[in-house]
Structures are given as C-alpha cells and as structure tokens.
C-alpha cells in the first residue's frame, strides 16, 4: 500500500546539531538539515517534492 504521506529521507536526519530549513507547500515538503558551516547533511522530501531528492543527494556532504 502507498502511505498517506510518502517521505524520502537521506543523510543523518537524527543529528541534533543541524539547523532545519523547512519549506512546506501543497505539493509537499522539503526540509534541509545544515551544519554550522551551512553544509547540507540531511534532508526530507514528501509527496510531489520527492522528485527533488536526486539533486539533493548530490549536494549531501558525508
């Protein structure tokens, strides 16, 4: 079954030192977790915003 709210998560979403920038719209959600140097360390996308996941994966700093 398809969940009511499909999500894609990547990176270390459980880090407590990240600052989350969240943009929510009717098409879905994009949440980006950045560290103190403003480097992308994690993200969450939902619904129609899931198509942005591949581009965000390329930006992740490991």
- pLDDT, tens digit (0-9, with 9 covering 90-100), for 16-62: 999 999 999 999 999 999 999 999 999 999 999 999 999 999 999 97
* Predicted TM-score of the model (pTM): 0.90
In the chain, the number of structural domains is 1
Q: What's the pLDDT score for residue 4?
A: 85
Q: What's the pLDDT score for residue 26?
A: 95
Q: What's the pLDDT score for residue 62?
A: 77
Q: Is 27 a domain residue?
A: yes
User: What CATH number is associated with residue 15?
Assistant: 3.30.390
Q: Is 1 a domain residue?
A: no
Number of H helices, E strands in the chain: 1, 4
> Does the pLDDT of residue 1 top 70, yes or no?
no
Q: Are strands 28-34 and 40-46 parallel, antiparallel or unpaired?
A: antiparallel
Supply the range of the domain harboring residue 34: 7-59
Q: Is 2 a domain residue?
A: no
Is residue 27 within 8 A of residue 50, CB to CB? The reply is: no
Q: How confident is the model at residue 13 (pLDDT cuts 50, 70, 90)?
A: very high
């Amino acid at each position: 079954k398809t969940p009511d709210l499909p999500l894609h998560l990547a990176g270390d979403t459980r880090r407590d030192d990240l600052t989350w920038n969240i943009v929510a719209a009717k098409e879905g959600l994009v949440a980006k977790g950045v560290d103190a140097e403003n480097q992308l360390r994690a993200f969450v996308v939902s619904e129609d915003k899931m198509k942005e996941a591949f581009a965000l994966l390329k930006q992740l700093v490991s």
